[in-house]
Amino acid sequence: MKRHIISILIENESGALSRVAGLFSARAYNIESLTVAPTEDPSLSRMTIVTTGTDQIIEQITKQLNKLIDVVKLLELTSGPHIEREMMLIKVVASTMAQREEVKRLTDIFHGRIIDVTPSIYTIELTDSGDKLDSFIEALAEHKILETVRSGVSGIALGEKSLHI
């Protein structure tokens, strides 16, 4: 069971997302995260799916996705060099001086930004790989986290390779 990232170009039509989501539930495939938004061509959406499975299951997932009429093109990002990014917004209690200093310091170490400040709360934005976001949450273990919002993974192939029509 390995983690895979599948990128899809799909027709930007109503119901397209539910075809993909429905396929995963109907065939009992795992889905860790799914992100979707239109591309520079408004008729196309780009979807990024993080899933786990054996090589045989991943092969079936890509074939079944390709079979959906609305799917224009598909690339398994993890089959080659690629970069993945996920954005997180996290709201942390920072009321004492010590807390404020410590949270600020950790945010700097992880190259995050504090985007909202109240006398008792810091809201931090952090964009990195999923692993780094996990590490940041771990690093904040001593602090009270009020809310975590993660975008799910987006990714892109490195170098010459690109997913376009």
Partner 1 sequence: MELSGGEILIRSLKDEGVEYLFGYPGGAVLHIYDAIYRQDDVKHILVRHEQAATHAADGYARATGKPGVVLVTSGPGATNAVTGIATAYMDSIPMVVITGQVSSAVIGSDAFQEVDCVGITRPCVKHNFLVKDLSKLAETIKKAFFVATTGRPGPVVIDVTKDITDPDIKIPYHYPDKVSIRSYQPTVKGHPGQIRRAVKLLLSAKKPMIYSGGGVVLGNASEQLRTFVRHLGYPITSTLMGLGSYPASDDLFLGMLGMHGTYESNMAMHDCDVLIAIGARFDDRVTGKIAEFCPDAKIIHIDIDPSSISKTIAVDIPIVGDVAGVLQAMNHMLETGTKQIQKKELAAWWKIIHGWQNKKCMSYDKNSDKIKPQAVIELLHEITGGDAYITSDVGQHQMWAAQYYGFDKPNRWINSGGLGTMGFGLPAAMGVQLAYPDETVACVTGEGSIQMCIQELSTCLQYGLPIKIVALNNRYLGMVRQWQEFFYKERYSHSYMESLPDFVKLAEAYGHVGIRVEKPEDLRPAMEKAFAMKDRLVFLDIVTDQLENVFPMIAAGKAHNEMHMSPHCEMPQSSERELS
**Residue ranges binding partner 1 (CB under 8 A):** 10-11, 14-15, 18-19, 22, 26, 56, 59-60, 63-64, 66-67, 69-72, 165
The least CB distance from residue 68 to partner 1, in Å, is 8
Query: Min. distance of Cβ 47 from partner 1 in angstroms?
Result: 13
As a three-state string, the secondary structure of the chain is CEEEEEEEEEECCCCHHHHHHHHHHHCCCCCCEEEEEECCCCCEEEEEEEEEECHHHHHHHHHHHHHCCCEEEEEEHHHCCEEEEEEEEEEEECCCHHHHHHHHHHHHHCCCEEEEECCCEEEEEEEECHHHHHHHHHHCCCCCEEEEEECCCEEEECCCCCCCC
State which residue, 62 or 154, has the beta carbon closest to partner 1.
Answer: 62
Least CB distance to partner 1 at residue 72 (A):
4
Output the six-digit token pair for 139. 């690093």
Tell me how far, at minimum, the Cβ of 3 lies from partner 1, in Å.
Answer: 21
Nearer CB in complex with partner 1: 40/67: 67
Q: Which CB, 71 or 92, lies closer to partner 1?
A: 71
Q: Which is nearer to partner 1, 69 or 97 (CB)?
A: 69
